[in-house]
């Protein structure tokens, strides 16, 4: 299975989510390959600061990504961290994937930016049936905002629904990342639960 965690908008949590999911899958016994498709290289930096060798990481920042990934049959799960700096690379990542997860922060500015992603997704869906879901990230534990954000998503003209799992803003995501660790290897049980729920929900979508 190939999953892209992508959004053309910067700073929405693509790298944080991609790296945490990669470690979660590895801890679940899966062979995981993390592809950094962003020239900024943050997922590669995460791998470099991680002592454990349980996840493999590679940087592919060319629009041939969807062709290059054809030969990785021994890998259970490929997770692509796709930035929006180059839309041809992002398009290639979407085309490579079975599932697109679009992290988004619960603000109107971020929702407006999502239309760029939906346009790329619509193009890719001409060639391939790609499931796509929004993931609300950096939520404040405020249920009214959460409800409003889900309503905003319902207004989009595309077959993209929000995932049930919501990721809250938590210090654990920032602190663990810097040490090459996932929140599963950190001290905040709520963050652990969120990433575990996200992983299980994604697996259940197959
Ligand atoms: N759930 C969260 N709680 C707290 N901080 C978070 C959370 N998700 C992401 N962050 C923080 O927000 C910032 C941006 O996250 P991240 O680098 O993962 O986003 P990105 O979409 O990959 O950004 P870029 O566009 O620069 O690649 C980082 O400082 C990260 O630690
Ligand atoms: Mg990033």
Residues 6 or more apart from 197 whose CB is under 8 A from it?
164, 165
* pLDDT grade for 154, boundaries at 50, 70 and 90: confident
Indicate the number of domains in the chain.
Answer: 1
Q: How many helices (H) and strands (E) does the chain have?
A: 8, 7
Of the residues 8, 9, 11, 80, which should be mutated to test ligand 1's pocket, given the most ligand atoms within 8 Å of the CB? 11
Question: In the beta sheet, which residues pair with residue 34?
Answer: 57, 79
pLDDT in tens, 161-182: 889 999 999 999 999 999 999 9
Is 36 a pocket residue for ligand 1 (Cβ < 6 Å)? no
CATH of residue 159's domain is 3.40.50.300
CA atoms within 13 A on the CB side of 163: 28
Q: Summarize the confidence of residues 87-102 as an average pLDDT.
A: 96
Neighbours of 60 (CB within 10 A): 18
Cα–Cα dist 24/182, whole Å? 8
Whether residue 147 is predicted with pLDDT greater than 80 in this model: the reply is no
The sign of the CA dihedral 29, 31, 37, 39 is: positive
Q: Summarize the confidence of residues 189-198 as an average pLDDT.
A: 98
What residue numbers bound the domain in which 179 lies? 2-204
* pLDDT grade for 83, boundaries at 50, 70 and 90: confident
Cα–Cα dist 39/31, whole Å? 24
At residue 111, the pLDDT reads: 77
Q: Helices 14-27 and 42-49, interaxial angle, to 10°?
A: 40
Q: How far does the chain reach from its first CA to its final CA, in angstroms?
A: 9
pLDDT in tens, 117-145: 999 999 999 999 999 999 999 998 766 67
Q: State the distance from the centre of ligand 1 to the C-alpha of 169, rounded, in angstroms.
A: 10
Cα–Cα dist 18/65, whole Å? 17
Let me know: does 192 contact 154? Beta carbons within 8 Å. no
């Amino acid at each position: 299975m190939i999953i892209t965690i992508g959004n053309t908008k910067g700073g929405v949590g693509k790298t944080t989510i991609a790296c945490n999911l990669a470690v979660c899958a590895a801890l679940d016994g899966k062979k995981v390959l993390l592809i950094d498709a962003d020239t900024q290289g943050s997922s590669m930096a995460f791998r470099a600061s991680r002592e454990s060798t349980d996840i493999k990481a590679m940087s592919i920042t060319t629009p041939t990504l969807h062709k290059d990934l054809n030969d990785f049959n021994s890998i259970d799960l490929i997770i692509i961290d796709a930035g929006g700096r180059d839309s041809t690379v992002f398009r290639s990542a979407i085309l490579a994937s079975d599932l697109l997860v679009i992290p988004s922060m619960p603000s109107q500015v971020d929702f407006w930016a999502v239309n760029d992603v939906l346009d790329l997704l619509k193009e890719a869906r001409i060639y391939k049936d790609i499931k796509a879901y929004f993931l609300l990230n950096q939520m404040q534990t405020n249920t009214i905002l959460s409800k409003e954000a889900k309503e905003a998503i319902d207004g989009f003209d595309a077959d993209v629904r929000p995932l049930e799992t919501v990721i809250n803003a938590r210090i654990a995501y920032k602190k663990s990342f810097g040490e090459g660790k996932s929140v599963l290897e950190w001290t905040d049980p709520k963050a652990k639960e969120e990433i575990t729920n996200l992983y299980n929900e994604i697996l259940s979508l197959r």
